Amino acid sequence: MLGYFNRTYSELQGTWKYYAPLFIIEALFIFMTTIFMLFWIYVINTAQSVHRNVRFLYTVYYGQYCTQTFFWIIQPISILLGIIDDTTLAHTKIFKVTNLFRHIGLTYAFYSLPGFIVERSFATWTVQDYEHNPYPKIGNIIVIVQSCVSLGFGSHFSIASNTIPHIFVALMINSMAVATNFYIAHINKKYYNTEHLSYSLSERFQITENLRSSKMFERIVYSTSFFNVIVNTCMILDNYEYSIKFKNLSSVLCDFSILIYGFIVPLITGLQQESWMKQVYVLMSRCSSKRITPSTNSFTQKMEKKTVRKEETTVYFDMLNTQWK
């Protein structure tokens, strides 16, 4: 159970004085990561220099995280204030509601990588016109499927007596997503290195974006693997009976691992998106005397307009000329 902590036992064992500062830090960290996510949502939707589906998927992903943290922060604050009777914590209405929304949000996060990989698969499959055509149905369907899976699996996860099958299914699907990501990278490298085919500039741009995205997903998987192991281990152990002392420790470790995971993902993603980082610099410059004007000559934005292949070279070199000036 996410957020479970037996304060009464901790006080009797004399460990509450160590845990109390951790819950204060957790509550502050939850608040900070929420602001962090809202900041990136603003950046993503003001930069608007990546494909519509990419913006949409990240906006929904970060948005549901903020919803999750709204309910999450109630748990450490309630434990600190002693609002929840931790002797019957699992049966209180406060804990049940917050636990439900946390499990739904966490399930969405579990299946976020497969959603991004599916979007990149379509980007690879329709490389010839993906930058011209926003294909909104692709992004909408992915979000609808993810939301239905999260509501169904997350709701059942919060009340199931055995959650190991849920964890196993999530691990299997994510493993398939990682394997698919390697395959997509292989296909796009093949496209990139093929010399006998004539690609338009928008096709070359899309191939490069696909390769960059594959690399970014690899870095996210590698960077968060340690915290994924902790979270999944804690959730698997939650199915077994062991001492309250270790249950308390497991709960705190799990929560902090989720928090760090939630901080690393948008950070790595943002650093890999040049246009998003430019928008960050623009926002930062507003606090100083030197103002930076955001770039409006995005290749993606221009290619989403109905340009013919012969016009793409002119568009591309006009952009280069503007940048060199």
Residue 224 CB contacts under 8 Å (≥ 6 apart), including other chains: 261, 264, 265
CB count within 10 Å of CB 306 equals 8
pLDDT in tens, 273-287: 888 888 888 888 877
- In terms of pLDDT, which residue wins out, 197 or 236? 236
Average pLDDT over residues 16-25: 95
CA distances from 91 to 11, 69, 71, 86, 249 (A): 21, 21, 17, 9, 21
Among 230-234, 286-290, 313-317, which range has the highest average pLDDT? Answer: 230-234
pLDDT in tens, 306-318: 454 445 455 544 5
CB count within 10 Å of CB 304 equals 18
Residue 60 CA to chain centroid, in angstroms?
9
User: Of 112, 117, 106, 47, which is closest to residue 296 (Cα–Cα)?
Assistant: 47
**CA–CA separation, 153 and 146 (whole Å):** 10
pLDDT surpasses 80 at 115: yes
pLDDT surpasses 80 at 6: yes
pLDDT at 320: 42
pLDDT surpasses 60 at 186: yes
Task: Quickly state the pLDDT bin for 23 (edges 50, 70, 90).
Answer: very high
pLDDT surpasses 70 at 234: yes
Alpha-helical regions (H) of the chain? 7-13, 16-47, 52-72, 74-81, 93-110, 112-125, 136-159, 164-193, 201-237, 244-272, 274-285, 299-303, 309-324
pLDDT at 306: 47
**CA–CA separation, 9 and 324 (whole Å):** 66
Find where tokens 């739904």 sit: 104
pLDDT at 288: 65
**CA–CA separation, 7 and 74 (whole Å):** 15
Task: Quickly state the pLDDT bin for 302 (edges 50, 70, 90).
Answer: low
Average pLDDT over residues 1-12: 82
pLDDT surpasses 90 at 1: no
pLDDT surpasses 90 at 33: yes
What are φ and ψ of residue 5, in 5° steps? -155, 125
Mean pLDDT taken over the chain:
82
pLDDT at 286: 77
CA distances from 307 to 7, 124, 161 (A): 64, 20, 57
Residue 162 CB contacts under 8 Å (≥ 6 apart), including other chains: 239
| Domains of the chain with bracketed CATH | 7-296 (1.20.1070.10)
Percent of the chain with pLDDT over 70: 83
Query: What one-character-per-residue DSSP string does 227-265 give?
Result: HHHHHHHHHHHTTS---HHHHHHHHHHHHHHHHHHHHHH
